[in-house]
Amino acid sequence: MLELAILGFLAEAPLPGHELRRRVSQLTGYTRPVSDGSLYPAINRLAKAGLIERRAAPATGTARYVLSLTPAGRADMLQRLREPADHEITDFTRFYIVLAFLSHLPDAAERHAVLRRRLEFLEEPASFFYDNERPLRAEEIADPYRRGMLLTARATSRAERTWLREALGEKPPAFDTARSECDPHAPAAPAS
């Protein structure tokens, strides 16, 4: 995903290495800080593959350079956005990097296909904790910290699903009386 972030930022404008590092760090830093030991090897791989160009920028100092996206780099970035790997759809941080640059895809149908994959993933019942194969809901967890994890994840998932439906131009599902909320992770409502 580091490579997609590099390609995505360079699709917006050529950047010096230190500015690219700052932008990538701001995008991913709160969950996965970007070190020089990972960023600069990624830049070198992309340059060697012909996806980005490195040009000297004498006005910024002797050791400074500016990076720009090549036509091959743009094509590669668009392909990565069109067909993200499954783990790029299911992993929160990885998906947000895809989302940060999804507007670069010129075709709305392709953008919607990516959003639909994420929505389908979020609508599957899931948990951090299971009883055999059955996902446990927050209300079934005695540990207050694990319960907090599930409640926070439920709220985040609900908000993201609402936004995804809006972005796709879909109406939210009708209220399901078998659930206390329109949420696959919500506990069933008491029978009347």
| Confidence check: pLDDT of 172 > 90 | no
Identify which of 116, 124, 119 has the alpha carbon closest to the alpha carbon of residue 185: 124
Do residues 67 and 17 lie in contact, with contact meaning Cβ atoms separated by under 8 Å? yes
CA distance 28 to 20: 12
Taking only the tens place, the pLDDT of each residue in 153-165 is 999 999 999 999 9
Specify the pTM.
0.81
Residue 79 φ/ψ, nearest 5 degrees: -65, -40
CA distance 148 to 131: 18
Q: Which residue is listed with tokens 């069933």?
A: 188
- What is the per-residue DSSP string for 94-156? HHHHHHHHGGG-S-HHHHHHHHHHHHHHHTS---SSEETTEEPPGGG--SHHHHHHHHHHHHH
What pLDDT, on a 0 to 100 scale, did the predictor assign at position 31?
59
**SS3 of residue 57 by DSSP:** coil
Which is more confident, 173 or 99? 99
CA distance 53 to 8: 14
What pLDDT, on a 0 to 100 scale, did the predictor assign at position 173?
75
Q: Which residue is listed with tokens 């540990």?
A: 143
Which is more confident, 179 or 59? 59
CA distance 9 to 28: 13
Name the amino acid, one letter, at 76.
D
Taking only the tens place, the pLDDT of each residue in 32-72 is 677 778 888 999 999 999 999 999 876 666 567 899 999 99
CA distance 29 to 7: 17
Taking only the tens place, the pLDDT of each residue in 105-121 is 999 999 999 999 999 99
Q: What share of the chain is helix, strand, coil (3-state, %, to 5)?
A: 60, 10, 35
| Confidence check: pLDDT of 180 > 80 | no
What pLDDT, on a 0 to 100 scale, did the predictor assign at position 61?
62
**SS3 of residue 159 by DSSP:** helix
Q: Token digits for 117? A: 């994959």
